Structure 1
Amino acid sequence: MNNLGIEGLGTDRPDLAVGGARVSAVPDATPIVYVVDDDISVRESLEALIRHAGWHPEVFASAQDFLSQPPAPCPSCLVLDVTLPDLNGLDLQQRVAAERADMPIIFITGYGDVPMTVRAMKAGAMEFLTKPFGDDVLLEAIRSALGRSEGAFGQVSELRRLQDRYATLSGREREVMALVVSGLMNKQVGGSLGISEITVKAHRGRVMRKMQAGSFADLVNIAAKLRIPN
């Protein structure tokens, strides 16, 4: 097994060259492993290793090249060199944390030290690997990172679905939902809004259907996820 990826494997593929990086076409639902490293031999080695493992690699020569690429709508992680020609890896980590919070980071470096490692880990890095390292070590780190990203991405996707459903509610239905999940009875909701109890029941039924809530408890949980004020 090689260190730092499978060096020497062929990379003759019809990929698109963008800013010194080859960017592959990727299906939306397939996890992506981004690589940012200014060493072309490292990029090609890791690209081949990641592809061979069954993931979709996208490689970049600099932090700016990576940041110019819009986030893909799927789980992902970032394999990141610390020393880069423009924005260094630790500074890029801060940008990723602010803009792409569901993307875990695995640092790789040939010049690591304890303070650097501590800074990266405190900022949320999944791993900090010092070159040379075994392929299996990196692959296991990527596997763990993608697992975390899939969980975070799933939560974001669920929230978006709930927001889309909530957007279909009328203004009155939103008022009824907010009062109902706050614990008021139908009669109390009607009194608060100046409408009949029968009308409240009708609105409540539509809210349940539109929000796809199977029970009152489901509706309360949905309201909590959407942070609907009482």
Structure 2
Amino acid sequence: MTDPVIRIVDDDPRMHDALQFILESEGYSVRHFFSAEDFLAGDFLSDPGCAVLDVRMGKMSGLVLQRVLKEREVDLPVIFLSAHGDIGMAVDAIDSGAVTFLTKPVRAEKLLTAVDKALSRKGSAEVQTTDAREVRKAFAALSDREREVALLAGQKLTNRQIAERLELAVRTVEFHRAGAMRKLGTHSAKELTEKLIAAGALGS
């Protein structure tokens, strides 16, 4: 797996130097961008890591950049830095998905805690994405009958209700339900429903 990269997007060279010293001292790789436009044009946005954004920059602010990333469906955790402690601005940023909102000058321990939190969030999302992909693969491998039975079971129908719906014997439903649950790695009706939702086969 590629090591995470911390992007610093700030129009103040002194801030780049300060943040780079803190981050590289902890072994992080750092990329530097002096405007939001340079970041969007020059970064490999799919690389793992996070972005540390200044709120107030040139033509495009950090808050606008955050919105652009969301519109482009770029799943990159964002940490905001601002020299102005605007509570309303901080609330808006966090409501829009930012990890945290730090004030300048930022203390090393606060920055590193925020970066750890951002990378943990990204890691969790990647695990969830991988899990969902595996569930979809397992669901696609079910037989047609197993898939029918699993979907009805996921809607909390009993074996008898499924048998009536599909005009099958209850024992036949039990057989196909057991096969579907085994292939999907589930052990209860609740787990089955959760797996089907994760696979996109059943609405939440």
Interval containing the TM-score (normalised by the shorter chain): 0.7 to 0.9
Q: What is aligned with 2:24?
A: 51
Aligned with 2:149: secondary structure?
helix
Q: Corresponding residue for 1:128?
A: 101
Residues 79-125 of structure 1: CA distance to partner in whole angstroms, max 9, x if unpaired?
10123334221101223345245x43221233554554444344343
C-alpha distance in 1, partners of 2:26/2:164? 62
Q: How many residues align?
A: 200
1:159 to 119, 132, 137: 132
RMSD of equivalent CA atoms? 3.1
Q: Distance in 1 between matches of 2:57 and 2:144?
A: 51
TM-score, normalization by structure 1: 0.69
Counterpart of 2:149?
A: 176
| TM-score normalised by L of structure 2 | 0.76
- 1:117-165 Cα offsets, whole Å, 9 max, x none, are 4443443433333322322222222223333333343333322322232
Any stretches of 5+ residues in structure 2 without a counterpart? none
Q: 2:177 aligns with which of 193, 204, 218?
A: 204
Gap regions ≥5 residues in structure 1: 1-26
* Separation (CA, whole Å) in 1 of partners of 2:84 and 2:69: 22
Contact 2:8 2:33 in 1 (8 A): yes
Bigger helix fraction: 2
Q: Work out the CA distance in 2 between the residues paired with 1:119 and 1:184.
A: 43
Q: What is the identity, as a one-letter code, of the residue corresponding to 1:56?
A: S
Whether the 8 Å CA contact 1:178–1:229 is kept in 2: the answer is no
C-alpha distance 64-160 of structure 1, shift in aligned 2 (>3 A): farther
Counterpart Cα distance in 2 of 1:195 and 1:179: 13
- Judge conservation of contact 2:10–2:33 (CA < 8 Å) in 1: yes
The percentage of counterpart residues that share the same residue type is 34
1:80 is paired with a residue whose SS is strand
Q: For the residues of structure 2 that align with 1:106 and 1:209, how far apart are their CA atoms?
A: 42
Deviation at 1:179, TM superposition (A): 1.1
* Deviating more after overlay: 90-99 vs 58-67: 58-67
User: Any idea what the Cα deviations from partners look like across 1:25-66, whole Å, max 9, x if unmatched?
Assistant: xx33x4442221233443354234323213333333332343
